[in-house]
Amino acid sequence: DTYLGYHEGGYTPFAFDVSSDLNYGAANVLVVRVDNPSWGSRNDIVPYTRVDWFNYTGIIHDVYLEVSDPVSIMRTDIVPQNIDGTIQTTVTLYNNSDSNKEVEALIEIYHAGIDSNNISKERASELIGSSATVTGTLQNTISVSKDSARVWRTTLDVSDPLLWTPKYPNLYIMKVILKADGNIIDEYYTQFGIRTVKTQEEKVLLNNQPVFFTGVARHEDHPVYGRSIPVDIIYEDMLKVKDVNANMLRTAHYPNHLYTYLLADRLGITIVEEIPVWWFDESLPWVLQNSVRHIHEQMFREMVFKDYNRPSILLWSTCNECREVDNRKAYIQKVWQDLNFKFSDGRLITQSAAADRPGPEDPSQAACDVAGWTMYFGIFHGGTYYDGTRRFVGYANIEYPFKPILDTEFGYWSGEQISINGQNTQVTVFDSTFKAFTFKASVIKPDGSYNYGGYLIGVTWWCIFDWYTHGHPNGFQSMGLYTMDRSTPKLVRDALKNGYEPYYNLGGVAIITDVEDEESLQPDHFALEQNYPNPFNPNTVISWKVAVGGYVQLKVFDVLGREVANLINKEQLAGEYRINFNAAEYELSSGIYIYKLVTNEFTDVKKMIYIK
């Protein structure tokens, strides 16, 4: 008997090389032992506590044997560099023989020819359409030493690129051919899209355009198949995501089947993918991972590398509703550094913190590209559905005025009996909470226009389908838009679908195409807005509009007319602006203060109250 090895973590793929261990020409037996320690029984595993989904045990996803030449293509990683069609391509080869080899690698790129007959196919090779026009180094002769890997990195330019967006999910297929002595010894296919995602202060830009996505979450669960859902049902699930006018999907608290993300690429569904670092509330479990075991970091890397070429994935989520802050922040910082300096893929880092653990001031959000919170106001987090939510996102923006914000969850239960009262409460929660999101925070306004001052880049109803959970051993979680069998929509399904529709029809993107469009969105008048919140302690946001570019001065005075803060003193272009004012930084006493805006053509003053 031969021991091949082990892998810890039940949500990401892994592989073992069995080349030297097989009985060629005879029967082989592969024995797998699955060890699933009970959640709550120890604190050095991921996840370690009793979580809000079902703890399935066994071989959940596919097992297969891959046959290749001793010299083969291990993977091909593609990172779009801009929206002009420049892509960085990294081809990794492995020589599993006992002699050095010289091989020739060639790259071909095709438009994906997707139609109703092949959209659900698992293999990228079945999507090949017409050839794309590509320039750059597409061919290379490579020497690969025995029993070692070799990397070839090349920068290519795709002419007249068709960009990937939720509304127009254009894809390409890359084919890498490997030859030895003129003979083809391996071929590798991968689908990819050309798109960029980045932050610009409080906005997330997809292809340089600001976004606001309407989303749902989906647990990988089914009343018949559990987490081992057949691909045809995964496809039907993803079509239902589209049908409710959602263009963003959070794939629960763990990586889903690989096929889920292939479909997201093809259907135009943006993705937030997460690893199961769930409710790490105490310091010790964090220390065991951050300093000793590093399993959470392993899971994160495996998640990234399994879905590296998926254009639909915009955000990697690091953890969910973890109470302890200092070690959480250190972990997110480490993951951010690993991603950006060791295997950068051009995506953004976020988390899913609970809005009340500790609140909008959560220091760990500083480590994220996008600040993310679950928001259950009027349910778990105090306040009411509308006011609690509206105030929280406002305060979060005050704490992080130049960081995009993502709602990672909101929702409510219908109850397992799916009663009318329960369904009506779901509708009320959706209507009130979504109204709060789109009151001032969303990057796209309810009328479809661009919100200069918006900072909320997406919202997520939890979930699209009911699911089994560890916390309800004799029942299930009933927060879905549909029952678990996918056959019965609840009343909230149509409420959400109608509420999401205007944003979905825009593709989640506020299009600003040229200077003329930008000018049409500029303010047509000067204005100094009332600070928010007011009264405040110690932070508040002051906003103003500049109709014509020129010199702008913004100062704060006490009631005796003495200047206490010089906030702005420079040229500004026409546009909407805001600044976070922290009274504590100026060592101010409680009281009334005056802030004054002066431009070449406009002067105004407002009063604000600072209460320590």
Two tokens, residue 75? 């993977």
DSSP characters over 547-605: SS-EEEEEEEEETTS-EEEEEEEEEE-SEEEEEEEEGGGGTPPSEEEEEEEEESS-EEE
Query: Residue 376 corresponds to which amino acid?
Result: Y
Pair 545, 599 in one domain:
yes
Q: Which pLDDT score is estimated for 194?
A: 99
Query: Residue 383 corresponds to which amino acid?
Result: G
Average pLDDT, the chain: 95
- Percentage of the chain surpassing pLDDT 90? 90
Q: Which pLDDT score is estimated for 578?
A: 84
Pair 429, 358 in one domain:
yes
Pair 267, 358 in one domain:
yes
- Domain encompassing residue 586: 522-610
CATH number for the domain that contains residue 211: 3.20.20.80
Two tokens, residue 480? 């879905």
pLDDT higher than threshold 60 for residue 513: no
Tell me what the mean pLDDT of segment 81-97 comes to. Answer: 98
Grouping H, G, I as helix, E, B as strand and the rest as coil, residue 55 is: coil
**Considering only CA atoms, which of 57, 29, 51, 484 is closest in space to residue 237?**
484
Q: Which pLDDT score is estimated for 512?
A: 67
Q: Which pLDDT score is estimated for 580?
A: 87
Q: Is residue 44 domain-resident?
A: no
Q: Is residue 305 domain-resident?
A: yes
Give CA angle at 127 (274, 16), nearest 5°.
50
Question: 169 burial class (0-12, 13-18, 19+ CB within 10 angstroms)?
Answer: buried
Q: Is residue 62 domain-resident?
A: no
pLDDT higher than threshold 60 for residue 582: yes
Q: Which pLDDT score is estimated for 514?
A: 47
CATH number for the domain that contains residue 598: 2.60.40.1930
- State the total domains in the chain: 3
Of 515, 537, 571, which closes a domain?
515
Tens-digit pLDDT profile for residues 595-607? 999 999 999 999 9
Tell me what the mean pLDDT of segment 527-531 comes to. Answer: 92
Q: Is residue 53 domain-resident?
A: no
Pair 258, 184 in one domain:
no
Of 192, 212, 235, which closes a domain?
192
The one-character DSSP state at 289 is I
pLDDT higher than threshold 80 for residue 224: yes
CATH number for the domain that contains residue 108: 2.60.40.10
- Percentage of the chain surpassing pLDDT 70? 98
Pair 562, 450 in one domain:
no
Give whole-number Cα distances, 293 to 46, 221, 275, 316, in Å.
10, 29, 16, 21
Pair 161, 251 in one domain:
no
pLDDT higher than threshold 60 for residue 129: yes
Pair 128, 204 in one domain:
no
**Half-sphere exposure (CA, 13 Å, Cβ side) for 464?**
30
User: Quick one: CA torsion of 553, 558, 564, 567, rounded to 10 degrees?
Assistant: -30
Give whole-number Cα distances, 561 to 553, 590, 608, in Å.
16, 16, 14
Tell me what the mean pLDDT of segment 2-24 comes to. Answer: 95
Give whole-number Cα distances, 98 to 228, 497, 611, in Å.
39, 60, 75
Q: Is residue 262 domain-resident?
A: yes
Pair 176, 228 in one domain:
no
pLDDT higher than threshold 80 for residue 522: no
Tens-digit pLDDT profile for residues 229-248? 999 999 999 999 999 999 99
Q: Which pLDDT score is estimated for 447?
A: 85
**Considering only CA atoms, which of 127, 246, 225, 110 is closest in space to residue 176?**
110
Q: Which pLDDT score is estimated for 515?
A: 39
Q: Which pLDDT score is estimated for 73?
A: 98
Tens-digit pLDDT profile for residues 23-60? 999 999 999 999 999 999 999 999 999 999 999 999 99
Pair 452, 532 in one domain:
no
Q: Is residue 21 domain-resident?
A: no
Query: What are residue 186's DSSP bridge partners?
Result: 178
pLDDT higher than threshold 80 for residue 521: no
Q: What are phi and psi for residue 121, nearest 5 degrees?
A: -70, 145
Tens-digit pLDDT profile for residues 290-334? 999 999 999 999 999 999 999 999 999 999 999 999 999 999 999
Pair 224, 175 in one domain:
no
Residue 518 pLDDT level (bands cut at 50, 70, 90): very low
Tens-digit pLDDT profile for residues 251-285? 999 999 999 999 999 999 999 999 999 999 999 99
Two tokens, residue 444? 């796209």
Pair 202, 186 in one domain:
no
Q: Is residue 60 domain-resident?
A: no
Tens-digit pLDDT profile for residues 171-220? 999 999 999 999 999 999 999 999 999 999 999 999 999 999 999 999 99
Query: What are residue 88's DSSP bridge partners?
Result: 79, 155
Tens-digit pLDDT profile for residues 427-476? 999 999 999 999 989 999 988 889 988 999 999 999 999 999 988 877 89
Tens-digit pLDDT profile for residues 361-398? 999 999 999 999 999 999 998 889 999 999 999 999 99
Alpha carbon distance 540, 579 (integer Å): 8
Sorted by sequence, the CB contacts under 8 Å of residue 377 that are 6+ apart come out as 355, 383, 384, 385, 387, 388, 389, 392, 433, 436
Tell me what the mean pLDDT of segment 540-565 comes to. Answer: 93
Q: Is residue 55 domain-resident?
A: no
Of 165, 192, 219, which closes a domain?
192
Pair 358, 388 in one domain:
yes
Q: In what order do the strands lie in the sheet with 539-546?
A: 527-528, 539-546, 575-582
Two tokens, residue 113? 């020819």
